Amino acid sequence: MISALVDFFSLAQGWLFESVVNPFIYYAGLAEFTEEAFEGTEWFLIGVCEIVLLYVILRPLEALIPVHPITDPRARRLDFLYTVIHRLGAFTVAVFFLLDPLIDQVTSLLHLEGIKPFNLESLWPGVTDLPLVSFLLYLIVLDFFDYWYHRAEHNIEWWWGLHSLHHSQQNMNLWSDNRNHLLDDLIRDIYMAVIALGIGVQPGQYVLLVAASRALQSLQHANVRIHFGVIGERLLVSPRYHRLHHAIGLGHEGNGRGTLGGHNFAVLFPVWDIVFRTAYFGKTFEMTGIRDQLPAPEGMGRDYGDGFWSQQWLGLKRMVAFGRGQQSETPS
Ligand SMILES: [Zn+2]
Ligand SMILES: [Zn+2]
């Protein structure tokens, strides 16, 4: 079954590449990037599969066991647009395949100097021969770095200016994982790709690691009443656990902005929240958003925009204003 799917995928990739992508890059005079374009076709197709799977599996669940009714269908459609842009976009591709040759160069330079770069294989010889073990190990190591990236987004003022766009969705749903500022997306994709290359992940495996991580993150944002039980909640980030991170005034207002200083930053594995004392295993399914979005006196009615470009523009403005320490001022 799995091998039939893999065969079908390769066939589709080959067809799309031969009939659309390859003629285009020749026409555009980009023949030297043929290999990268072939990999890019794979990312694109994986993105398509992800979107179809999410729609088929998570949409019915959202209809069956929702946390709240969707009061703003337009905001949900916009999140879908973010998903299409990010998952079918060239971001990760460009980053990984531009960086890959660069790191290759650095590696060969170090090799010439007799310095061996760090990777898991040199730390634990033979580990990368066991595909499942190395897959899980890489997933856990990458998740550790993702946890600290996420904490920085909340604790560095200008960065919160960008990341708050992700938190401004008050109708959190299966597409909300991708509601991010493009600049933040770019920084994160570069950061994760550098680490992946730095620990010796092969490009073919990186595609699968990213796909697995994204699928779990989409589930976490879905508008569904799902938790994984006492033990499961501590092993894998569930929709309830991540919803607590998005809860108004509870989970994300770190750095003196909230009562608990922010919690549940883990991206896939709550173990990082447990180890670094930021875990909160509440049992409620909270409404999501940011306190300053609320009307006075509770909030200040801050506008995060209701269209793609207005959200991106306001994100940049917040980045500059928050970076100057002007977070509590009424936005103009
Ligand atoms: Zn989130
Ligand atoms: Zn966050």
Model confidence at 118: pLDDT above 80: no
In a domain, 119, yes or no: yes
In a domain, 12, yes or no: yes
> Measuring CA to CA, which residue among 46, 204, 39, 189 is closest to residue 128?
204
Give the start-end residues of each E strand in 184-322. Answer: none
Q: Which ligand has an atom closest to residue 265 CA? A: 2
Q: Which ligand has an atom closest to residue 220 CA? A: 1
DSSP annotation string for 286-329: --BS-GGGSPTTTS------SSHHHHHHHHHHHHHHHHTT-TTS
In a domain, 328, yes or no: no
328: CA distance to ligand 1 center in Å? Answer: 23
116: CA distance to ligand 2 center in Å? Answer: 36
- Contacts of residue 314, defined as CB under 8 A and 6 or more positions apart, other chains included, come to 165, 303, 304, 305, 331
19: CA distance to ligand 2 center in Å? Answer: 41
In a domain, 79, yes or no: yes
pLDDT at 11: 85
Residue 190 or 315, more confident: 315
In a domain, 302, yes or no: yes
Q: Which ligand has an atom closest to residue 239 CA? A: 1
- Local structure of 119: helix, strand or coil: coil
- Rounded Cα distance, 84 and 220, in Å: 18
- Rounded Cα distance, 162 and 185, in Å: 10
Number of domains comprising the chain:
1
> Measuring CA to CA, which residue among 89, 94, 86, 102 is closest to residue 197?
102
pLDDT at 96: 60
102: CA distance to ligand 1 center in Å? Answer: 31
How far CA 25 is from CA of 16, 19, 31, in Å, comes to 13, 11, 6
In a domain, 123, yes or no: yes
Written as six digits, the tokens of 161 are: 């200016």
| Each residue's pLDDT tens digit, 4-23 | 877 888 888 888 888 888 88
52-61, 83-92, 230-239, 304-313: lowest mean pLDDT where?
83-92
Average pLDDT, the chain: 85
Q: Which residue has the tokens 């993702």?
A: 146
Whether the full predicted model's pTM is greater than 0.85, yes or no, is yes
176: CA distance to ligand 1 center in Å? Answer: 7
Domain range for 305? 2-323
253: CA distance to ligand 2 center in Å? Answer: 9
In a domain, 331, yes or no: no
Reported as a pLDDT band with limits 50, 70 and 90, residue 208 is: confident
In a domain, 330, yes or no: no
298: CA distance to ligand 1 center in Å? Answer: 23
